[in-house]
Amino acid sequence: MSQITEQAVLDQLKNIIDPDLRKDIVTLGFIKDLAVSGGDVSFRIVLTTPACPVKEAFEEDAKRLVGSIEGVTDVKIIMDAEVPKGRGIAGNMALPNVKNIIAVSSGKGGVGKSTVAVNLAVSLALDGAKVGLMDADVYGPNVPLMLGVADKQPGVFNNKIIPVEAYGIRMISMAVLAPPDKPMILRGPMLHGVVRQFLTDVDWGELDYLVVDMPPGTGDVQLSLAQLVPVQGAVLVTTPQTVSIADVLRALKMFETVSIPVLGIIENMSYFIPPDMPEKRYNIFGEGGGRRLAEEYNVPFLGEVPLGMEVRQAGDNGIPVVVSDPDSPQSKAFRAVAEEVARHISIEAMKPDLIIMSRAK
């Protein structure tokens, strides 16, 4: 029986190509801790996100390919993930323990942006990522209510604010720092100070993703965030109707102006399925507007989230729908959207490495 070598194992694993990064998993450095002992082979496959949609396929292919090597009797694979640190704009304030900042934005209010931000953050945490959620919608801070922590107060340690924790994520909001009946009357410079405080005076700990729920529109908070920290990308939320599409287009152009990549567009309230008539589908706000906008401006379309009472009830009850009703169409849509967001974050983060690899060849 011929001796099994590590190189033989790697040669087989080179047949597995990452569909997004378009390189084999050996070249991408995904194979770790490879060990060969007689006929036993073991290694880790370390992916760029715990929400990787091809994780099971990679594991099956790796086991089959390595198992086909003459003399191999057992293949042990550990599937792991290490989210890459995003490449931000040079000169921005660094958050050394936060790998990727995701801005969730919309051109107008009333499209469910905060609902999307909350369920996106919780979905990423459910997939195994370390997640923070910053409620930068200073004038309408609803995130604590949606997470059921409106009555919680953040702690303070070593002159740092300790975020409130809920459903596996760390969260900060003006709503947990100020009385609930106090109106937020802030001008541009004051808003800049609030954003800076949320970023630098909060002990976020180690995060794979910091999701930022932005206020609607294209105002001071968006510009402050772009100036202060390296935002890895923006997720734009729209409904299918024409007026919403027109407004989200302004947000898209604004992020282009400040050199923040648009990770994609989420179409919320895409359609309604009556609970008593699951075969019916009503396009209450129109149809396909988000997808058409994404195609026209060559940005990814991240998915459709249907309209449903489950989402409203979950928000009112302080339990995100991905937790309260995980089998609902809305939950499944949010979980799929989270996978898409994580996938595009990884693509953006790996771009410089891919350029170097291509030049090396």
* CATH number of the domain residue 55 falls in: 3.30.300.130
**pLDDT per residue as tens digits for the range 298-341:** 899 999 999 888 888 888 899 999 999 999 889 999 999 999 99
Q: Do 129 and 48 fall into the same domain?
A: no
pLDDT reported for residue 14:
95
Of 107-116, 149-158, 166-175, 199-208, give the lowest mean pLDDT range: 107-116
What local confidence, expressed as pLDDT, does residue 193 receive? 65
Considering the domain architecture, whether residues 191 and 52 belong to the same structural domain is answered as no
Return the percentage of the chain with pLDDT > 70, whole number. 83
Residue 70 belongs to domain spanning: 6-81
Q: Do residues 47 and 126 share a domain?
A: no
117-131 pLDDT, tens per residue? 999 999 999 999 999
The single-letter DSSP state of residue 93 is P
Residues 230 and 292 in one domain: yes
Please give the mean pLDDT across all residues of the chain.
Answer: 83
In a domain, 52, yes or no: yes
84-100 average pLDDT score: 68
Tens of pLDDT, residue by residue over 257-276, are 877 889 999 998 888 877 77
Residue 124 has, within 13 A of its CA and on its CB side, a CA count of: 28
* Count of structural domains within the chain: 2
For 288, which DSSP code? S
88 within domain boundaries = no
In a domain, 335, yes or no: yes
Report the predicted TM-score, pTM, of the whole model to 2 decimal places.
0.83
Strand order in the sheet with 40-47: 31-37, 40-47, 74-81
What pLDDT shows up at residue 218? 57
Q: What is the CA radius of gyration of the chain?
A: 22
Lowest mean pLDDT among 22-26, 88-92, 325-329: 88-92
Q: Is residue 129 domain-shared with residue 45, that is, in the same domain? A: no
Q: Do 297 and 263 fall into the same domain?
A: yes
> What is the rounded CA–CA span in Å between residue 49 and residue 43?
18
Instruction: Check whether residue 52 and residue 164 sit in a common domain.
Output: no
Q: What is the pLDDT of residue 131?
A: 96
Same domain, 67 and 118: no
Are 75 and 128 in a shared domain? Answer: no
Cβ 126 vs Cβ 118: under 8 Å = no
Structural domain contains residue 183: yes
Which range has the top average pLDDT, 6-20, 106-120, 141-155?
A: 6-20
Per-residue pLDDT tens over the stretch 131-179: 999 988 776 678 999 999 988 888 888 888 899 999 999 999 887 776 5
- Asked if the structure places residue 48 within a domain, the reply is yes
Residues 20 and 76 in one domain: yes
| 3-state class (DSSP) for residue 149 | coil
Lowest-confidence pick of 94-98, 240-244, 291-295, 305-309: 240-244
> 347: domain CATH number?
3.40.50.300
Q: What angle do CA 185, 191, 196 make, to 5 degrees?
A: 145
- Please indicate, yes or no, whether residues 52 and 167 belong to a single structural domain of this protein: no
